């Protein structure tokens, strides 16, 4: 999908998430909807 979600602890920031993307705005919106539904 071109979207990756990594726990912040991998970068020394416990309690945060790092979102990396290389995709269309449509795919980003779908990913945000899926994350919000959790």
**Domain boundaries defined on the chain:** 3-36
- Flag whether pLDDT at 1 surpasses 70: no
Bigger pLDDT: 7 vs 28 = 7
Question: How confident is the model at residue 12, as a pLDDT?
Answer: 92
- 27 Cα distance to chain centroid: 11
CB under 8 Å to 20, separation ≥6 — which residues?
Answer: 3, 4, 5, 6
DSSP string, 10-23: GGT-TT-EEEEE-S
| 32: confidence class by pLDDT, cuts 50, 70, 90 | confident
Q: Return left, alpha or beta for 2; rule: phi > 0 is left, psi -120 to 50 is alpha, else beta.
A: left
Bigger pLDDT: 28 vs 11 = 11
Question: What pTM value is reported for the model?
Answer: 0.49
Q: What is the pLDDT of residues 3-25, one digit of tens each?
A: 788 999 999 999 999 888 788 88
């Amino acid at each position: 999908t071109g979207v990756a979600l990594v726990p912040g602890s991998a970068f020394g920031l416990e309690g945060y998430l790092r979102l990396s993307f290389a995709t269309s705005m449509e795919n980003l919106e779908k990913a945000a909807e899926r994350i919000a539904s959790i």
